[in-house]
Amino acid sequence: MNHSISELALTGSPQLYRHSFEIFGLKPQFELDKSQLTERFHQLMHAVHPDRHAGASDAERRQAMQWASRVNQAYRELLKPLLRAKLLCEIAAAAPVDLLKTAMPASFLMQQMQWREDLEAIAEHVDRLNELDVLESRLKQTEQELAAQFAQISLAFDKPDGRERATLAADLLRQWMFIEKFLDDIEQQRMQWLEVLPS
Nearer to another protein (CB atom), residue 15 or residue 114: 15
| CB 63, min distance to another protein, A | 4
Number of residues that bind another protein (CB under 8 A): 58
Contacts of 150 (CB under 8 A, 6+ apart): 30, 85, 169, 172, 173, 176
| CB 24, min distance to another protein, A | 7
Nearer to another protein (CB atom), residue 47 or residue 155: 47
Per-position x/- string for 109-148, each x denoting binding to another protein as judged by CB under 8 A, each - no binding = ----------------------------------------
Nearer to another protein (CB atom), residue 10 or residue 109: 10
Burial class of 184 by CB neighbour count within 10 A (0 to 12, 13 to 18, 19+): exposed
Phi/psi of residue 192, nearest 5 degrees: -65, -45
Site for another protein contains 64 (CB under 8 A): yes
The answer to whether the beta carbons of residues 173 and 86 sit under 8 Å apart is yes
Nearer to another protein (CB atom), residue 19 or residue 49: 49
Sign of the four-CA dihedral 171, 176, 179, 184: negative
Cα 37 to Cα 96: distance, rounded to the nearest angstrom: 24
Cα 52 to Cα 141: distance, rounded to the nearest angstrom: 42
Binding site for another protein (CB under 8 A): 1-10, 12-13, 15, 23-25, 40, 42-60, 62-70, 72-73, 75-76, 187, 190-191, 194-199
